[in-house]
Amino acid sequence: MKINTKYFGEYQAADDSVFEFPDGLFGFEGPKSFALIPFDAQNEASFLCLQSIDDSELAFVVFNPFYIDSAYSPGPLKEDLAELEVEEKTPVSFLVITILRDDFTDSTVNMKCPVMLNNQTKKARQIILPQDYSMRRRLTPKEKAG
């Protein structure tokens, strides 16, 4: 499907890249359909764009949290799993919303409220984890002044 995007102009989104968010995203409950678009298709560890299908200006930079924290262990609530029709062997993915700053060392990710994707049903939901994760974890360690 062709969509207008914030970062890529007109873009041909693959059908399997579109996810439905029945509840929208926190603070953006209206838009329900989003395409997941890689900024660099050749690099699996690159940032992704979560682009609204209906609003070309609404896009979030997201990232796979396991690339910066291999010990990240999101444990969604039962309600979240039920809402996304997740069963024991259902393939799910997690992405964290990223705030990129001009000074990249000030950039952060929200590890507390990831986006959970059911890769079979293409349903998704932003969740709040019961575990103690930061809402503003730095992407890179801040250099200490000498």
pLDDT beyond 70 at 146: no
Whether the full predicted model's pTM is greater than 0.85, yes or no, is: yes
Banded pLDDT at 143 (limits 50, 70, 90): low
Q: What structural domains and CATH numbers belong to the chain?
A: 2-135 (2.30.290.10)
Q: How many CA atoms lie within 13 A of 125 on its CB side?
A: 18
Residue whose structure tokens are 């979240």: 80
State whether residue 82 is helix, strand or coil. Answer: helix
Tokens in use for 129? 């984890």
Per-residue pLDDT reduced to its tens digit, 83-103: 999 988 888 999 999 999 999
Tokens in use for 136? 């503003």
